[in-house]
Amino acid sequence: MSKSLNSPTARLLQSSRLFSLPRPLAPPALETVSSTGVYRASETATLPYPTHQAIATPASSQFRGDFGLKRPLPAKAIKGRPHIRIRAQDNSAHITDFESALNHTQTQAKWQQIGAPLTVKNKSDRYTGGGKSIQSVYDAHVDNTDSEAVRLAMFQPEDVSSRSRRDALPSSHAPETKRWKYDGPWITGMQEGQFATWLSSSALQGRKEEFRAFLVQRMLERRVQDEERALREQGERRAISAAKEEDIRADIEANYDTEIKRLRDEHEIQYLGSEMTAAICDFLDLPGIRAQAESGSLARTVDLQNALTDSLASGQNGPPSTHPGAGLGHVRTNAVMENHPLWGPQAHGSPVLARVITPRSTFSGPNYQAKLGVGGVVTQDPVGDSFRNDRRNTGPAEYNEENIPEQYVDVDRMMSQIDPDLPGGNKAWVQPETAHIDEQGRIRLDVTRGDKEAVAVKRGKVEPIHESRSASTRGPESAYPSQSIANFGTGLPDMRRAGPPRSLTTGFDEELARRPLQESDAAAKIRELLGNAPRR
């Protein structure tokens, strides 16, 4: 007993509070193809998503280098690194291989502060009314992993009347339930060798009878739906009987070879858009495959293909590699109103200061939009080079702490040209709108240029706003004609030498202040000043 307690493994478990870490993910490919066909790669670039678990510890334990590992880490190596990632707890050299994880933990903290909602990337569609509404990745019809739940969602209203009303609605009114995770691989993204290996794997061998039973059940469900639809058209709101369903099953079993031949013939004409392709994808739980427009197909345009294949789980880019939210945040919409502690509710969200990485190009090409860095993510300036871009550098002769923040307000100048003399580089105010995670796990952020009032509130300089609003409510000041303004060409007299109109009671007030008057004299004086005094 004592020997087992004193074994190296027992001592490791007794002295270590963290002896098991999640298995690291596969590193993403950082090589990208440029316009000239050259592959560009970086060894120091931050990965699009973390591959190792980040570990944190309290300040008291960090002072001792205690992260709950087998041995404490050196204090000099972890100074200023509250989060680390472990590559190897105990390698061949008996050391702990670790590095800082601030690049990803800081990105997550910035995104929680930004509060941009994570949405589903929608395809532009001119056949269904242009852009579609924003859908959150946490909506009930999007955040699904179970294929059975997706299939049963079609029959959520149990009564026939509700089901008929749902069938009568267009697809744009009732969002279709989708999934983001599949058991099968993405065949379109496979290499030829990978596809051959997958075909010879045990996942496909010996499943012929299982596929036959699946097809029979699928045909039965289609036939039952057709029968119930025919009954509804005749005004009979009832489901078919169990005996009728068994008769349909027996008919399908007897004519199975004929049905298979029909599906194969349709596949030769429709290819990936056929019913056979859909059945194979459902049986093997494969991501959706885009139906290509072949000769003889009616969907020969990209927009019509998007409209017809919108129900598929994925398109040309494949399924997502992780949850569409990726753990960045749980905000479902940007329809929120910020309440400033001093100025109250704001019409626009709080802007953030973005760094200009690449300025806008003056010629039409892939870089006609400026590249911005927002919260550790590279995005594009929504405004391109469609306007006249002949502004010269209007920066000050010398920069100081007072005029540097003023340069960031001039967004067009910051986006057009990099100023090497500006301390800290070019920056501009932008407002994050929405974001989505693409199929490679990268963050795609959409921003708009910051509103002037929102930027002024963020900087705490709202005096120009108050002056402009007070001027609009006060109206223009009354001014008398000056010598430079004459009424030439009109029938009005020349008012250049006329002063302000004299009050009718000014003389009476002056005389009353000099000497008191009798009541009769005061009344006569008033009538005289008013111009209607009667003669005695």
- DSSP-assigned letters across all residues of 214-251: HHHHHHHHHHHHHHHHHHHHTT---PPPHHHHHHHHHH
| Assigned domain for 314 exists | no
If you average pLDDT over residues 419-433, what whole number do you get? 90
CA-angle at 479, arms to 475 and 480, nearest 5°: 155
**Whole-number Å distance between alpha carbons of 375 and 447:** 12
pLDDT reading at 169 higher than 50 = no
**pLDDT the model gives residue 356:** 93
Q: Could you tell me if residue 135 is inside a domain?
A: no
Residues 179 and 261 occupy one common structural domain: yes
Report d(CA 353, CA 253) in Å as an integer.
67
Q: Residue 244 phi/psi, 5° resolution?
A: -65, -40
Residue 353 has pLDDT above 90, yes or no: yes
Question: What's the CA gap between 224 and 12, in Å, rounded?
Answer: 63
pTM score, whole prediction: 0.68
Q: How many domains does the chain have?
A: 4
* Last residue of one domain, picked from the residues 308, 331, 354: 308
Give the pLDDT confidence of 13-26 residue by residue, as tens digits.
666 556 678 888 88
- 402 vs 192, residue with greater confidence: 192
pLDDT of res. 71 = 81
Cα distance between residue 47 and residue 67, in whole Å: 24
* Residue 68 and residue 160 share a domain: no
Residues 6+ apart with CB under 8 A from 133: none
Checking if the pLDDT of 168 tops 50, the result is no
What is the reported pLDDT for 129?
47
88-142 pLDDT, tens digit per residue, is 877 778 888 889 999 899 999 999 889 899 998 765 544 444 455 778 889 888 8
Q: Residue 221 is encoded by which pair of tokens?
A: 């469900």
Check whether residue 158 and residue 94 sit in a common domain. no
Task: Name 102's Cβ contacts closer than 8 Å, sequence gap at least 6.
Answer: 81, 82, 83
- Of 423, 442, 473, which residue constitutes the final position of a domain? 473
Look at residue 292 and give its three-state secondary structure: coil
Q: What mean pLDDT do residues 266-271 have?
A: 86
Output the pLDDT for position 445.
Answer: 92
The highest-confidence range among 36-40, 58-62, 92-96, 348-352, by mean pLDDT, is: 348-352
Reported as a single tens digit per residue, the pLDDT across 144-158 is: 887 776 666 655 544
Residue 136 inside a domain? The answer is no
248 versus 363: the higher-pLDDT residue is 248
- Give the pLDDT mean for 432-436: 91
Q: Which of 373-377, 440-444, 512-516 has the least mean pLDDT?
A: 512-516
295 shares its domain with 394? no
Domain check: are 379 and 522 in the same one? no
Three-state DSSP class for residue 32: strand
515 confidence band (pLDDT: 50, 70, 90) = low
d(CA 350, CA 338): 8
pLDDT reported for residue 177 = 76
More confident residue, 175 or 415: 415
Same domain, residue pair 469 and 345: yes
Using 50, 70 and 90 to split pLDDT, how confident is the model at 403? confident
Query: Does a structural domain hold residue 294?
Result: yes
* Residue 308 in this model has a pLDDT that exceeds 50: no
Q: Do the domain assignments include residue 224?
A: yes
State whether 280 and 192 are in the same domain: yes
Which burial class, exposed, middle or buried, applies to 98 when counting CB atoms under 10 A from its CB (0-12, 13-18, 19+)?
buried
60, part of any domain: yes
Any domain includes 524: yes
Residues 60 and 19 in one domain: yes
Task: Give a yes or no: residue 530 inside a domain.
Answer: yes
Look at residue 5 in the predicted model and tell me its pLDDT.
61
User: Domain check: are 75 and 185 in the same one?
Assistant: no
Give yes or no: residues 58 and 151 share one domain: no
Residues 283, 366 within the same domain: no
What sign does the dihedral 464-469-470-472 (CA atoms) show? positive
Domain that residue 155 falls in: 147-308
- Which residue, among 286, 259, 290, 258, has the nearest Cα to 273 in the 3D structure? 290
Which is higher by pLDDT, 36 or 206?
Answer: 206
Q: To 5 degrees, how large is the angle CA 120–CA 125–CA 131?
A: 60
pLDDT, average across residues 369-397: 73
Residue 258 binned pLDDT confidence (cut-offs 50, 70, 90): very high
Question: How does residue 298 score in pLDDT terms, banded at 50, 70 and 90?
Answer: very low
457-504 pLDDT per residue, tens: 998 888 877 777 777 666 555 555 555 555 545 555 555 565 665 555
Q: How confident is the model at residue 163 (pLDDT cuts 50, 70, 90)?
A: very low
User: SS3 of 98, please?
Assistant: strand
Is residue 176 predicted with pLDDT exceeding 80? no
DSSP letter, residue 111: H
Q: What is the mean pLDDT of the chain?
A: 76
The single-letter DSSP state of residue 188 is G
Domain end: 431, 446, 473, which one?
Answer: 473
* pLDDT for residue 424: 87
- pLDDT score of 384: 66
Give the pLDDT score at 475: 58
Q: Which amino acid, one-letter code, is at 368?
A: Y
What is the mean predicted confidence (pLDDT) over 433-439? 88
**H or E, element range at 458:** helix 452-459
Share of the chain above pLDDT 70, in %: 68
Closest to 376 measured CA to CA, from 26, 101, 138: 101
SS3 88: strand
- Statement to judge: residues 445 and 379 lie in one domain: yes
* Per-residue model confidence (pLDDT) at position 12: 66
